[in-house]
Chains A and B, each alone.
Chain A
């Protein structure tokens, strides 16, 4: 048994939730066609409330922590939350569209010892990617951010959601991942029927997507 599998088994035996995913915002700067969020203002936890949750998670024995949203960098306190999580010694992963990551953010993510950044890229062609995110210029900014992160020596993975709109671009996305030296994950998987999830679940052959979409 690998050390990782041993730890997972031990955590299960001890009733420890070793791996936790936390969505820190509903807000997003993109409007992806497949996203299950409605992006309405449902309110969100403030800095102190999230830090309190992180304290509780650390006390409960959580080791792996994934920050996601919405777009995490829409929160002005996001780096502060990552810093707090790292002070609590979580192994931190971040899911983001990376549009708001520049040198400053990349440097901090590195300095804070973030394990991995997962970034959504739906196509190597701006006209396809930007049509999916509904944010003009988003592919260009996302690729620029990936370069900043790689320059810092951070581990980056690219996530692609397979759907009708990008069904011919998988090879192009693979080539882009190779060029940027990042790992590619392509996902046609199901996500909760939250927000717009119940209206956004047409199969690939009749609609926009292959499955209910997921944020990041």
Chain B
């Protein structure tokens, strides 16, 4: 298993509702809901924290799971989300785009 960096796509909308994360892609209007563990990974996907760091620091202590199988499950999950274009995966840190301010116009 090789570690990787993950970042949320800039085209998605997301909100926590009743313990589940709702995600909608602006690109094709597809809608997903994530459970609690998946939501934690999603929220931590900032492009500069590696997937294994996220699993080791946020998932394992919280849910008392075996690190190896948690890493495997997490890899499968992020691969699945990246196929739908709502999560970006790279072997290097991913730069998050900067946003305009009123001075920029």
Given contacts A4-B31, A112-B10, whether A79 and B17 have CB atoms under 8 Å apart is no
| A165 located at the interface, meaning its Cβ lies under 8 Å from any Cβ of chain B in the complex | no
| A83 located at the interface, meaning its Cβ lies under 8 Å from any Cβ of chain B in the complex | yes
User: Inside 8 A of B18's CB, which chain A residues have their CB?
Assistant: 10, 14
CA distance A90 to B11 in the complex (A): 11
B102 touches A16 (CB 8 A): no
A61 touches B13 (CB 8 A): no
CA distance A4 to B11 in the complex (A): 19
| B101 located at the interface, meaning its Cβ lies under 8 Å from any Cβ of chain A in the complex | yes
User: Inside 8 A of A74's CB, which chain B residues have their CB?
Assistant: none
A63 touches B97 (CB 8 A): no
A81-117 with Cβ < 8 A to chain B: 83-84, 86-87, 89-92, 104, 108, 111-115
CA distance A112 to B13 in the complex (A): 11
| B105 located at the interface, meaning its Cβ lies under 8 Å from any Cβ of chain A in the complex | yes
CA distance A23 to B99 in the complex (A): 22
A80 touches B24 (CB 8 A): no
User: Inside 8 A of A113's CB, which chain B residues have their CB?
Assistant: 9-13, 26
Across the interface, A61 reaches (CB within 8 A) one of B16, B26, B31, namely: B16
A126-153 with Cβ < 8 A to chain B: none
| A58 located at the interface, meaning its Cβ lies under 8 Å from any Cβ of chain B in the complex | yes
B24: nearest residue on chain A (CB-CB)?
A91
Given contacts A79-B105, A80-B100, A108-B100, whether A63 and B15 have CB atoms under 8 Å apart is yes
B12 touches A89 (CB 8 A): yes
Residues of A at the B interface (CB closer than 8 Å) are: 3-4, 7, 10-11, 14, 16, 18, 47, 58, 61-63, 76-77, 79-80, 83-84, 86-87, 89-92, 104, 108, 111-115, 155
